[in-house]
A = this chain, B = another copy of it.
Amino acid sequence: MNAMLLKLKEAGLKLTPQRMAIVREIADDLTHPTAQELFERLRPAFPTMSFATVYNTLDSLSRLGLVASLRLGGAKDGATTRFDPNTTPHHHAVCDACGKVVDLPAAHPTPASHKNEIEMTSGFNVRVEERTYRGLCAGCSKEKSLI
């Protein structure tokens, strides 16, 4: 069985058809879909499923650490939450033009000295660092250069 489903079960949560469908839909999706997008993909198979169910399930998954929820802001849809099954530490690149989000390996972790310096200066106890690179994705860069 899918690892996410197994974890849901272990956590005492019920494996309803809706949940199994949502998990199947997001488990290998690296495009950072929104709740809206998932809902629309599932609608054909579950015409009666509600948004609340999609949000509830995504909330359970993110509570269990099985998906990450991101608010990457930028452009108009800055308020939209995106979901990412990749829960290992990594950064994101967001396209200013089309809103596309891609994962970047966390190849350059913040040096301890830097984190320490931030803690010294700000008094913060830093837990995580989030980096977002904004610019134009390959496709949109090409379009722009043709204008």
Chain A interfacial positions (CB closer than 8 Å to B): 70-71, 73-74, 78-79, 81, 93, 95-96, 102, 104-105, 107-108, 114, 117-118, 121-138, 141
Contact = CB atoms under 8 A, between A and B. Distances in A.
A127 B122 contact: no
A38 B34 CA distance: 31
Nearest to A74: B71
A81 B76 CA distance: 11
Given A102-B122, A125-B135, 4 more contacts: A71-B71, A93-B118, A124-B141, A125-B136
Given A117-B107, A118-B93, A118-B104, A128 B124 contact: no
Contacts of A74: 71
A105 to B, nearest CB: 8
A123 B137 contact: yes
A76 to B, nearest CB: 11
Given A104-B118, A114-B108, A122-B104, A96 B127 contact: yes
Nearest to A130: B132
B131 A127 contact: no
A14 B13 CA distance: 58
Given A78-B81, A122-B102, A134 B127 contact: yes
A135 B130 contact: no
Contact of A132 (B93, B114, B129): B129
A104 to B, nearest CB: 6
